Amino acid sequence: MSDLPVKIITVDGPAASGKTTIGRMLADKLGFMFFDTGVMYRAVALAAYQAGVNPTDEEAVSALAEKITIDVKPVGAGDDRTSIVLLDGDDVSWAIREPVVDATVSKVSGYARVRAAMVAQQRKVGLRGKVVMIGRDIGTVVLPEADKKIYLEATLEVRARRRFQDLDSRGGDQSLEEVQAGLAARDEADTGRDLSPLRPAKDAFVIDTSELTPEETIRKIEPLLAG
Ligand code: DC
C-alpha cells in the first residue's frame, strides 16, 4: 500500500467510533505519520483546569489556549498512548485522558479562538503530507483538500462499551452507564455547536463500525485508497 498516490487521509467521527485504532493501522500500513487532533483540545482543557480557569470563561480559556505550547510527538510501537503530548514541556499524555478533561473538553473546543489556534497548527502539520489526521472537522475544515476522507460512526451503545473497556483496563472507576451518558453529552456538544460541528464532509466515505472488527474496517477502506 505504501506506493499509493494518497498523501493526506482524514478520519473523522464521534468519540469512540474507532478513529484512533483505524487511523493508527492505516498510518502504519502506509508509513505515514499519525496525528490525533483531539489531544490538542484535551491539552487546552487540562491547562484550564490546572490554571484554575473556569471552562465556561471563554475569554480566559481562549487567552490561555493562545499562550500555551502544545507539542505532539509520535509514540513507538507497543506504547498504549495515542501520542506523546507535551503541555509547556510537561508530559500530559495520560493526564489528558482523566474524567475532568472528558467533562470539559467539548466546552472549550467550541470556542472560536481556541479552534483558530489549534486548526492553524494542525493545517501546518497536515500540509506536509504523508499524514493520517483524525478528529471531528479534519475533512470539513482543517484539511478540506485531503486526498481521501473517511468518516467512522457506530451506535452509542457500542461506543460506550468500547470506551468503558478501554477505561476499565486502565483502572477507571466509571460505570458503563456513566460512560454512555458522558459520550451522549459529548455527541450533543460536538454535533450541536455552531463552529465546525461534527458531520461527514460531502466527499467522505462513511463507514459504520458497530459490527466490524478493526481488520474488517481496514478491508473496507483499502479499495478506496487505491482509487
Ligand atoms: O477525539 P477526542 O475524544 O480525544 O476529542 C476530544 C474533544 O475535542 C471532543 O469532545 C471534540 C474535540 N475535538 C474537536 O472539536 N475537533 C477535533 N478536530 C478533535 C477533537
The domain segmentation of the chain, as residue ranges, is: 7-32+130-227, 38-128
Q: Is 107 in the pocket of ligand 1 (CB under 6 A)?
A: no
State the average pLDDT over residues 15-30: 93
**pLDDT at res. 104:** 94
Is pLDDT at 198 greater than 80 in this prediction? yes
pLDDT level of residue 77 (50, 70, 90 thresholds): low
**pLDDT at res. 179:** 93
Strand 131-135 to 33-36 pairing: parallel
Query: E strands, the chain, where?
Result: 8-12, 33-36, 70-73, 84-87, 90-91, 131-135, 148-153, 205-208
**pLDDT at res. 227:** 63
Best residue among 44, 92, 93, 105 to mutate for probing ligand 1's pocket (most ligand atoms within 8 Å of CB) is 105
Q: Is 42 in the pocket of ligand 1 (CB under 6 A)?
A: yes
Give the rounded percent of residues in the chain with a pLDDT score beyond 90.
Answer: 78
Alpha-carbon separation of residue 3 from 130, 218, 226 (angstroms): 11, 17, 10
Is pLDDT at 81 greater than 90 in this prediction? no
CA dist 150 and 60 (Å) reads: 34
pTM value is: 0.91
pLDDT level of residue 5 (50, 70, 90 thresholds): low
Residue-wise burial string across 132-164, b where 16 or more C-beta atoms lie within 10 A, e elsewhere:
bbbbbbbbbbbbeebebbbbbbbebebbbbbbb
Fold of 7-32+130-227: Rossmann fold (3.40.50)
Are both 7-32+130-227 and 38-128 of the same fold? yes
Q: Which ligand 1 atom sits nearest the alpha carbon of residue 16? A: 3
Closest residue CA from atom 18 of ligand 1: 135
Q: Is 135 in the pocket of ligand 1 (CB under 6 A)?
A: yes
Q: How far is the CA of 136 from the centre of ligand 1 (A)?
A: 6
Q: How far is the CA of 3 from the centre of ligand 1 (A)?
A: 31
**pLDDT at res. 169:** 87
State the average pLDDT over residues 73-89: 82
Q: In this structure, are residues 31 and 21 in contact, taking their beta carbons and an 8 Å threshold?
A: no
Q: Is 12 in the pocket of ligand 1 (CB under 6 A)?
A: no
DSSP assigned state of 32:
P
Beta bridge partners, 87, equal 70, 90
- Cell 501520542: give the residue: 83
Q: How far is the CA of 29 from the centre of ligand 1 (A)?
A: 24
Residue-wise burial string across 170-198, b where 16 or more C-beta atoms lie within 10 A, e elsewhere:
eebebeeeebbebbeebbebbeebeebeb
Among 19-33, 77-91, 199-213, the least confident range:
77-91
Give the rounded percent of residues in the chain with a pLDDT score beyond 70.
Answer: 96
CA dist 27 and 148 (Å) reads: 13
CA dist 201 and 4 (Å) reads: 22
DSSP assigned state of 141:
I
Phi, psi dihedrals of residue 65, rounded to the nearest 5° = -60, -35
pLDDT level of residue 173 (50, 70, 90 thresholds): confident
- Mean residue pLDDT of the chain comes to 92
Q: Is 10 in the pocket of ligand 1 (CB under 6 A)?
A: no
State the average pLDDT over residues 200-222: 96
Q: Is 38 in the pocket of ligand 1 (CB under 6 A)?
A: yes
The CATH classification of domain 38-128, taken from the options 3.40.50.300, 3.40.1170.10, 3.40.30.10, 3.30.365.10: 3.40.50.300
Best residue among 136, 138, 166 to mutate for probing ligand 1's pocket (most ligand atoms within 8 Å of CB) is 136
DSSP assigned state of 67:
H
